[in-house]
Amino acid sequence: MKKTVFLIAFCLGFALMGYGQDDNMYPQSGASARDIPEPLLLPDFPMKDGSVMYQEVFDFSDADQTELFGIALRYVSEYYKSAKTVIDVTDPVTGLVVVKGNFTVMSDVYYRFFGTQKTVVVKRTGHTLKIESRPGRIRVTIDNLQVINEALPEAGIIYNESPILDLIRDYERYEQIYSRQKPKKAEKLAQVNRSILLDELDLNAYRFLQGLKPYFEKELKEDW
């Protein structure tokens, strides 16, 4: 009986030692909220009509519309090889190509297990690509960005085909909360990871957009 009472008291005392230690709930890392870096600043996302939209016009002075439209079709067939890719529009008269697909975003700065361990996370970003061909130029638009099938509970983020605007709103909402009160460790980690994800999405969207120009230049040169 004495042994039983002692065992219960020991277990209760051990549990009370950890009670209220929200910032050190995860012994595998031993890190506290102050050990986690500050969230990145929100990127200056290009907005149009209340949506995030990346758009660029590229000039190819010696190319006609038919030629540029053909290159746009080749680009889509080479880049979008996933079975989930949907080509909505291919109109040679207007020179319009619209495709729904995804590109990958790789990050090596996620902190796993609510600690400071770095790891590599690869995410797919759904989007709509529009290429409009005109004589001597094309206009490229990327919009409808969303994170696809991202369930990362260890990073404090659970999104499933979530539009980028939802991520932005969450970032802004938590920034307002944390300006008034100190975040707990798990909360701060989630905001850091959210900021990293938004930063990577912005960078990769710009890279993806800018990558079309050299492709068109190469194809035009080879056509000669």
Tell me if 71 is assigned to some domain.
yes
Pair of tokens at residue 34: 């102050």
Q: What is the pTM of this model?
A: 0.75
Tell me if 5 is assigned to some domain.
no
Could you tell me which residue, 134 or 175, shows the higher pLDDT? 134
Could you tell me which residue, 58 or 102, shows the higher pLDDT? 58
Whether residue 114 has pLDDT greater than 90: no
Tell me if 4 is assigned to some domain.
no
Give the lowest-confidence range in 135-149, 161-175, 176-190.
Answer: 176-190
Tell me if 73 is assigned to some domain.
yes
Q: Considering its fold, how many domains does the chain have in total?
A: 1
Pair of tokens at residue 40: 């990145």
Tell me if 133 is assigned to some domain.
yes
Domain hosting 164: range is 25-223
All residues at 6 or more sequence positions from 147 whose CB lies less than 8 Å from its CB, including other chains: 123, 124, 125, 126, 159, 161, 162, 164, 167, 197, 201
Q: Report d(CA 188, CA 190) in Å as an integer.
A: 5
Tell me if 16 is assigned to some domain.
no
The beta strand positions in the chain, using DSSP E, are: 47-48, 51-52, 54-59, 86-91, 96-112, 117-134, 137-148, 150-152, 157-159, 162-163
Q: Report d(CA 137, CA 57) in Å as an integer.
A: 7
Of the chain, the percentage scoring pLDDT greater than 70 comes to 70
Tell me if 12 is assigned to some domain.
no
Whether residue 83 has pLDDT greater than 60: no
CATH of the domain at 34: 3.30.530.80
6-64 pLDDT, tens digit per residue, is: 443 434 343 333 333 333 333 334 556 666 778 889 999 999 988 999 999 999 998 99
Whether residue 122 has pLDDT greater than 90: no
Tell me if 11 is assigned to some domain.
no
